Amino acid sequence: MKKLLTALLLAMLVLSGCAKKEEAPAEPEATILIKVNTEGIGCIEVAEGEETPVIDKEFPAQSFGSMFAKGTKVTMLAYETEDNYHFVKWTKNGEDYATDEQITVTVEEEAEYIAVFMPSGGWDGPTAEKIEDAKTMGDILGLPMFASSSSEEKVVQVFELNGVQYRAVALLPEDVSKALWALDFSDPDYENKFNELVAPLEIDHIVDLSAQIPAQEELDKNIGKTGEELVNEGWKPDFVNYEEKTAGMNYGYYYYTVGFEGDLVRNDDAEIEDLIKDLKAVSITYEGIGQAADPELD
């Protein structure tokens, strides 16, 4: 009997030792937020995987946001919806990313992608495919256009080609200049008439704006200068943010946010130059193309 009890106890010990442990519930897989938006007039489609997303013509999208598991492939398609607006590029978190209309990314971190669309100069003629082909204003008028302006002596176009921003200048013969200034701005056909006069003009010179963006170390050389000193050197204030103690300022072809230290006292009747003249610059951040179409910048 003793042997039987001992055997039973051993069996129970063995069985209890082999019992399956309860597994802890699996933690949910971490997901990452991906946002996709548009700038200008145009639409987007987004799909998981590497296949081309299907365009939903009934419900075109200009904004998208969703959570994806890390490592997921996501394909984004930008497409044009207005004749006068052209897709230019994708940006990621504010930085230029790609110039192809369709891109596939691997989700690694939270990010915002923006499909940038820009209006053209409204010209239906053939356009340059590379900057070396741009000989006349007509070669660039149909490209995405940042800005356009003219004086009595010249016409300036700021445009983008293959992800690069340029400034093109053509000199105006006297007869063309007079014809341009005789145009009626209120005329619904003003743009077409302007383009017909400007298109044949030979381009005098082109500036590669993307290549000339100042490095941050160059900008930092202005740290410590007063607002008055910056203005005297050609910096042009555009607005002021009292809460953040910053001013938007144009300098040369580009636009910047300048941070100041000191008391920035609200006075809506004062000129911005007077508000910042005694304040010292503590930061300067490049924001993008500014008044690059100003004819006086040559």
Per-residue three-class SS string for the chain: CHHHHHHHHHHHHHHHHCCCCCCCCCCCCCEEEEEEEEECCCEEEEEECCCCCCCCCCCCECEEEEEEECCCEEEEEEECCCCCEEEEEEEECCEEEECCCEEEEECCCCEEEEEEEEEECCCCCCCCCCHHHCCEHHHCCCCEEEEEEECCCEEEEEEEECCEEEEEEEECCHHHHHHHHHCCCCCCCHHHHHHHHHCCCECCEEEECHHHCCCHHHHHHHCCCEHHHHHHCCCEEEEEECCCCEEEEEECCEEEEEEEECCCCCCCCCCHHHHHCCCEEEEEEEEEECCCCCHHHC
pLDDT for 7 equals 42
pLDDT of residue 256: 97
pLDDT at 125: 84
Task: Please report the pLDDT score of residue 284 as a whole number.
Answer: 98
CATH fold of 31-118 reads Immunoglobulin-like (2.60.40)
Other beta carbons within 10 angstroms of residue 62's beta carbon come to 16
**pLDDT tens string for the chain (298 positions)?**
444 334 433 344 334 443 444 554 544 567 999 999 999 999 999 999 999 999 998 889 999 999 999 999 999 999 998 877 889 899 999 888 998 999 999 999 999 999 999 887 778 788 999 999 999 999 999 999 999 999 999 999 999 999 899 999 999 999 999 999 999 989 988 988 999 999 999 999 999 999 999 999 999 999 999 999 999 999 999 999 999 999 999 999 999 999 999 889 899 889 999 999 999 999 999 999 999 999 999 8
Q: Where are the domains of the chain?
A: 31-118, 131-211, 216-291
